[in-house]
């Protein structure tokens, strides 16, 4: 079918553009531009603020998403107000809130400021605002409410019991980690019947269709345990998640595959990791080995997942991994372990993990000084290569111009030294010539003086002779 042309199609295009501009204007209307008065007036409300810089590319990419966040929060009647502030124009206010990069998203609630560190999507940002703006610990008064929460949230924590030192620790952990997950409290009769508690009070995490109970002796600090357990056991990995997992100290087993490749080997390795994560956690939790300088680590401190493509993992390991494969990362010291065998099924994967834990599989990488120097050189090389690949002319300008300036400076220094020696030599020569010339002139003057004195003495006898003749 031919594309319609003429006045009608032109008018339709104009109308379509006008509708888009109107939608953008409506979205922007629910995001307030903040100025210096915000500092004094903000404490009366809860604010979700985007601190941006006008020249920042990531900030420009976030802008339409941020406008959608403002519209959504307004439409659902949220008490959270959405705003944005040019951190370059109001740098003192931005510094007061600890803004060090752009864009920075913060929820401001009274005297508290919570940083958002999740994916920059509308749904994730709105979920963060709902979680942090509400009560720190939310009560679950009934089983119906508990079932509703369990259906809505993939991971959440529950304190069961009355007042106790454990509850105080739970409140402290919630204050620190509310930006990541939800915290609830309930009585023992509210939790499902399948939950078995050996003692009260207790802290539980519900995830992966099961639950786990915090054990102070085995799990250590409660906040650290919550930080480790806030992830589902199996995840689709990316750079952001690996960065977040870096604070947990977990061992992360990743199937590096190409999701567009439907061959048996790619799907099989992914299925193996999923099976291990699903069926072997209780087995892992019951086995403890010495690992890395006599550090006690259990299988429960493993994280499982898959990653699409090897670009990021190659950069992280400074190595070239062949896809598909499996790699195990130690987030506590930047070491990693590569396969030393063919993985046929989940039992082979379990044996590979056992070999890592008992030290049979050698660790690679790490955070030694040599590895840090290697990282600096690798990052520099990667940056240069990426610049030349994306824009050869820009690469030539960025690296050719400094090299040209340095070359000119070196040439100038070299030629300056050469000419200086030549001038100095010429000066020495001219100085000697001047001395010789002065000596010659002195001799001439002396000769002229002696000549004048000899003339009268030669004429005197002649005058005397003439007088004698007269």
363 vs 13: CA distance, rounded Å: 61
* Rounded CA separation 216/170 (Å): 12
226 to 114, 197, 249: CA distances (angstroms): 18, 18, 13
CA dist., res. 273 & res. 255, Å (int):
7
- Spatial contact of 32 and 82, defined as CB atoms under 8 Å apart: yes
CA pseudo-torsion sign 221, 225, 228, 230 = negative
* Sign of the dihedral through C-alpha 10, 11, 16, 20: positive
> Do β-strands 364-365 and 335-338 pair in parallel, antiparallel, or remain unpaired?
antiparallel
C-alpha to C-alpha distance for 428 and 150, rounded to whole angstroms: 96
Measured between alpha carbons, how far is 97 from 105 in angstroms, rounded to an integer?
11
Residue 21 half-sphere exposure toward CB, CA atoms < 13 A: 6
- Residues 103 and 408: their CA atoms lie apart, in Å, by 41
Q: Edge-to-edge, what's the strand order for the sheet holding 80-86? A: 32-33, 80-86, 46-52, 104-109, 112-115
The Cα–Cα gap between 145 and 151 comes to 10
Quick check: is 410 catalytic?
no
- Residue 27 annotated among the catalytic residues of the structure: no
Alpha carbons 155 and 234: distance in angstroms, whole number:
12
At 331 the three-state DSSP class reads coil
Residue 428, H or E segment: helix 392-469
Which 8-state DSSP code applies to residue 320? -
CA atoms within 13 A on the CB side of 7: 0
DSSP classification of residue 254: E
Q: To which H or E segment does residue 82 belong? A: strand 80-86
Q: Distance (Å, rounded) from C-alpha 460 to C-alpha 161? A: 147
Strand 288-291 relative to strand 295-298: parallel, antiparallel, unpaired? antiparallel
Residues involved in catalysis: 56, 59
């Amino acid at each position: 079918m031919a594309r319609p042309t003429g006045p009608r199609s032109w008018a339709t295009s104009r109308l379509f553009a006008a509708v888009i501009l109107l939608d953008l204007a409506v979205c922007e209307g629910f995001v307030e531009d903040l100025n210096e008065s915000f500092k004094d007036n903000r404490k009366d409300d809860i604010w979700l603020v985007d601190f941006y810089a006008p020249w920042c590319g990531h900030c420009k990419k976030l802008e339409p998403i941020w406008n959608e966040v403002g519209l959504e929060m307004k439409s659902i009647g949220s008490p959270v107000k959405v705003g944005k502030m040019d951190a370059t124009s109001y740098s003192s206010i931005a510094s007061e809130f600890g803004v060090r990069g752009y864009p920075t998203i913060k929820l401001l609630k009274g005297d508290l400021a919570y940083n958002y560190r999740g994916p920059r999507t509308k749904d994730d940002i709105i979920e963060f605002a709902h979680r942090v703006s509400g009560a720190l610990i939310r009560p679950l008064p009934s089983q119906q409410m508990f079932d509703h929460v369990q259906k809505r949230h993939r991971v959440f924590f529950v304190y069961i019991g009355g007042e106790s030192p454990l509850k105080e620790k739970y409140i402290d952990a919630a204050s620190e980690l509310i930006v990541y997950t939800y915290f609830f409290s309930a009585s023992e009769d509210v939790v499902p019947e399948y939950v078995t508690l050996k003692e009260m009070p207790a802290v539980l995490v519900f995830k992966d269709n099961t639950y786990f109970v915090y054990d102070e002796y085995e799990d250590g600090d409660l906040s650290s345990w919550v930080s480790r357990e806030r992830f589902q056991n199996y995840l689709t990995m990316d750079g952001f998640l690996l960065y977040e997992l870096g604070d947990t100290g977990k061992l992360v087993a990743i199937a590096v595959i190409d999701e567009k490749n439907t061959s048996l080997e790619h799907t099989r390795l992914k299925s193996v990791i999923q099976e291990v994560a699903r069926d072997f956690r209780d087995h892992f939790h019951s086995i403890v080995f010495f690992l890395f300088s006599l550090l006690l680590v259990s299988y429960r401190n493993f994280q499982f997942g898959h990653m699409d493509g090897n670009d990021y993992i190659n950069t992280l390991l400074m190595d070239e991994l062949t896809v598909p494969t499996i790699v195990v990362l130690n987030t506590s010291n930047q070491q990693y372990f590569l396969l030393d065998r063919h993985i046929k099924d989940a039992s082979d994967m379990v044996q590979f993990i056992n070999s890592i834990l008992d030290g049979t599989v050698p660790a690679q990488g790490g955070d030694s000084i040599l590895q840090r120097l290697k990282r600096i050189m690798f990052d520099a090389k990667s940056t240069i290569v990426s610049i030349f690949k994306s824009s050869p002319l820009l690469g030539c300008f960025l690296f050719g111009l400094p090299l040209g300036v340095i070359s000119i400076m070196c040439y100038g220094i070299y030629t300056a030294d050469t000419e200086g020696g030549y001038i100095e030599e010429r000066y020495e020569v001219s100085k000697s010539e001047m001395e010789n010339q002065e000596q010659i002139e002195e001799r001439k003057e002396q000769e002229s003086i002696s000549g004048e004195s000899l003339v009268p003495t030669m004429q005197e006898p002649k005058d005397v002779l003439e007088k004698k003749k007269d």
